[in-house]
Amino acid sequence: MQIDDWLMEILACPQCHAPLRADDEASELVCTNEECGLAYPVRDGIPVLLVDEARRD
C-alpha cells in the first residue's frame, strides 16, 4: 500500500476526526484514537473513508 506522506498528513477519521496511521500489512488506515479505533480499507490504492465500510480494530 502506498499513500503519499502529504496525503497522510491531511487524512482524518470521518467518525472522530483523529489522525490515521497506515497498516500496510492489512491494507488499511487505522484511527489513532483508541476510543474510536476504526480501520478503513484501502482498495486499489484508494482509501475508502466511509464509516459503513470500516471495521473495529
Is residue 53 included in any domain, yes or no?
no
Is residue 27 included in any domain, yes or no?
yes
**CATH code of 30's domain:** 2.20.25.10
Is residue 57 included in any domain, yes or no?
no
Mean pLDDT of all residues in 29-57: 94
Is residue 52 included in any domain, yes or no?
no
Enclosing domain of residue 9: 5-47
Cβ atoms of 10 and 48 closer than 8 Å: no
Mean pLDDT of all residues in 26-30: 96
The total domain count for the chain is 1
Q: Tell me what percent of the residues of the chain surpass a pLDDT of 70.
A: 100
The whole-model pTM stands at 0.90
pLDDT at residue number 1: 76
Q: What are phi and psi of 12, to 5 degrees?
A: -140, 155
Distance, in Å, from the CA atom of 46 to the CA atom of 36, rounded to the nearest integer, reads: 22
pLDDT tier at 50, thresholds 50, 70, 90: very high
